[in-house]
Amino acid sequence: MTDKKLTFRRIAAICVVLLCFVGFLSAAGYYQATNGVNVVSQGDLTPIPAARGEIVDTNGVPLVVNRQSNNLIFKAGLFPSSKQQKERNELILSLIRLLEDKKIKWLDKLPLEFDKNDSIRFSEDRALDIAWLKSKEMLYVNDYATAADCFAALVDRFELKEYKKEDQRKLASVNAELWHQGFRVSAPYTFAQDVPSDLIAQIKEQNEKFPGVDTEIVPVREYAIAGDIMPNILGRVAALDPDEYSRLKSQGYRMNDFIGKSGLEKELENTLRGKDGKKRITLNRDGSLTEEIIEPPVQGNTVVLNIDVSLQKWLMENFADFTENTLKGKRLKYAAGSVIVMNPNTGAVLACVSYPTYDITKFAELLPALDKAESRPLWDRALMAAFPPGSTIKPSVAVTALQEGVITKDSTFFCNGTYTYGGAAFRCPQAGLHPPHVNVTKAITSSCNTFFYNCAVNLGIDKVNTYRSLFGLGQVTGIELPESAGILDSPEYREAHGQEWQAGLTVQSGIAQGDNVFTPIQVANYIATLANGGTRYVPHVVKEIKSYNLSETILTKEPEIAAKIPVSAENMKIVQEAMNKMPKGDVRFGKMPVEIAAKTGTNQRNVEGLKGAVSDGWVMSWAPYEKPEISVMTFVELASGSGVTIPFTTKLYNYYFGRSASFPKPQGENVLLG
């Protein structure tokens, strides 16, 4: 009896649950019938693209901004479904022809192309895309399937046999991406980006011909200055490649998203990238779509640089003109070099030029030529290239010798043009330009090699390199951009390369010969350290980071001390005074608007394709001498010596201090220049 009662109760309970479920379905049906909607699931939301943060110069002048652009999109629910493949193909092909007639690109990601014999082949460097095409998620063919096998499978899958081969490939591309991206009501498909407004209007006027084809307004990156002024600093954005998407999709990146590829756009991706919004798309019973914004997008943060764009522009234009005209008619095939201007009291980078430059706004179309260019314009010569520093190294050796007690201000070494050590002879080409007995001041102003050979031998390589390391030479500086470490030649470096340290290498190291190669940014930071009396700061191009509406300061980049040189003020002053005398005794510097301190450097090296050794020219300097405002590193590659470089440095100081009265003043809080 008890078992019968329990069974009855179970049956009754099940009936109650079923009645409730039927009642719920009836209510839902009544709601849909009376309200006319079929609601997409609550969790099925579509992202709203957020604008990236802007980049402005130190005075608020816009450098990289956003503009509104029209994307052409397909909306499921109105667009022909995969069960209507013929109608879908016809619609897609008519759109492709319309865009191609207007010479407008549509998004073509299929890793198949026709060769010159009109045979299908896999596109180069598309391994991940090809792997997906063959995978069980798409064609489910063998790994060894050929391009022709994949193409035939696509034609069959998407019912394309009746079309010409060229059209088959285009239709296969769009259909495959619709499949790949999971085209559905909550996931519209982007067919073309940055479509002109007149074409958008034309398509909308023919909405019956293009059901489900709509537009989406999205932010697009745009340069507010000429694209060749500072491409190495600003960088660029581009669409995610398959590897990036695979790595970043868990962080909310979508297949068609853009990401920083170089420069600050890449290094500050997390800062510049905004927060996407969310919207819910509802498909109504009458076939229309409605959208409800659940969460609005938030633009990325604004990055304020230390770069003064007016100084940067002047430098780029005048350095290009100077190097091209200076080297014109020489045996060199191209002009190249870099200029870096810093605030020696903070490490702020006020300008950074790498030449030759290129127009980053035309990067995609110029890339094949840029890759082949012998002058390597894509190579950042300011931060990534490393060269022998020549005589610019001598002030650091002087500081070391003075502080370690190897010399005093009045110590002298005899120089007759040849220094002999360990049975080897080392030259001093400057012997005729100074008295036979040379002190540290004369050694710096006349650039006497023999004096610094003696210093290096008496110090030993360990002490020489200890101070060079403190000056930041042969190591990354910590700037926010990609940079090279260069090489600090040492016994450890030689041992790592299967060589022994020879006594003669210590002699050569006194004038930075051997394998010593440093980047221009390292030399720029080294001269800034000498200018301020011995504090090495971390160079930085970023001044501060603000919220997109400038209402909040997220980060202020305070000066960061990397090292303090353990040298007395007295010893540092001896070297500084010598560097102040150096340009006064060199007529090539001409008339200066302020007193400066400087040291030149010439290094010889062999270059493939050129007969005999060629020389680079360095000038490192600061001004005003007593109270430094700026330090300058000027480097001209293959310039036949520093003499070629000096006139440009003079011109720069005349420009900088001549324009100071009319410098643009910093803007007030939360104000940007238009």
Q: Which residue has the tokens 């003499």?
A: 643
What is the distance between the alpha carbons of residues 27 and 497, in angstroms, rounded to a whole number? 80
**Residue 539 pLDDT more than 50?**
yes
Is 28 a member of any domain? no
- pLDDT band at residue 85 using 50, 70 and 90 as cut-offs: very high
> Which residue, 163, 184, 205, sits at the end of a domain?
184
Q: Where are the beta strands (DSSP E) in 580-629?
A: 597-606, 613-623
Say what angle helices 147-157 and 165-180 make with each other, to 10 degrees: 80
Same domain, 637 and 490: yes
Which residues, 6+ apart, have CB-to-CB distance to 640 below 8 Å?
330, 614, 615, 617
Is 610 a member of any domain? yes
Output the CA torsion 223→225→226→227 (10° steps): -30
Can you give the residue range of the structural domain that contains 143? 108-184
DSSP lists the bridge partners of residue 292 as 280
Q: Which of 3-17, 114-128, 379-393, 469-483 has the lowest mean pLDDT?
A: 3-17
Q: Would you state the pLDDT for residue 330?
A: 61
Which residues, 6+ apart, have CB-to-CB distance to 491 below 8 Å?
461, 501
- pLDDT band at residue 122 using 50, 70 and 90 as cut-offs: very high
User: Each residue of 541-582: pLDDT tens digit?
Assistant: 999 999 999 999 999 999 999 999 999 999 999 999 999 999
Helices of type H across 104-229: 127-134, 147-157, 165-180, 197-205
What is the distance between the alpha carbons of residues 294 and 42, in angstroms, rounded to a whole number? 11
Is 338 a member of any domain? yes
- pLDDT band at residue 50 using 50, 70 and 90 as cut-offs: very high
Give the CATH number, domain containing residue 394. Answer: 3.40.710.10
> Which residue, 184, 219, 236, sits at the end of a domain?
184
User: Each residue of 341-371: pLDDT tens digit?
Assistant: 999 999 999 999 999 999 999 998 899 999 9
**Residue 439 pLDDT more than 50?**
yes
Q: Would you state the pLDDT for residue 331?
A: 53
Is 271 a member of any domain? no
**Residues 558, 423: contact at Cβ < 8 Å?**
no
Q: Where are the beta strands (DSSP E) in 139-271?
A: 189-192, 213-223, 237-239, 258-260
Same domain, 313 and 171: no
What is the distance between the alpha carbons of residues 562 and 413, in angstroms, rounded to a whole number? 34
**Residue 670 pLDDT more than 50?**
no
> Which residue, 184, 206, 222, sits at the end of a domain?
184
Residue 406, sorted as left (phi over 0), alpha (psi -120 to 50) or beta, turns out to be alpha
The total number of structural domains in the chain stands at 2
Tell me the whole-structure pTM to 2 decimals.
0.86
Question: Which one, of 395, 531, 390, 404, lies nearest residue 457 by Cα?
Answer: 404
Within its chain, how far is the Cα of 142 from the centroid?
A: 39
Question: Which one, of 399, 408, 639, lies nearest residue 527 by Cα?
Answer: 399
What is the distance between the alpha carbons of residues 639 and 602, in angstroms, rounded to a whole number? 9
Q: Which residue has the tokens 């003079």?
A: 650
What is the distance between the alpha carbons of residues 203 and 241, in angstroms, rounded to a whole number? 30
What is the distance between the alpha carbons of residues 238 and 233, in angstroms, rounded to a whole number? 16
Is 196 a member of any domain? no
For the record, the structure tokens of 258 come out as 């853009």
What is the distance between the alpha carbons of residues 298 and 562, in angstroms, rounded to a whole number? 36
Is 197 a member of any domain? no
Same domain, 314 and 168: no
Backbone angles phi, psi at 401, to 5 degrees: -65, -40
Helices of type H across 36-75: none
Is 38 a member of any domain? no
Is 162 a member of any domain? yes
Q: Would you state the pLDDT for residue 290?
A: 85
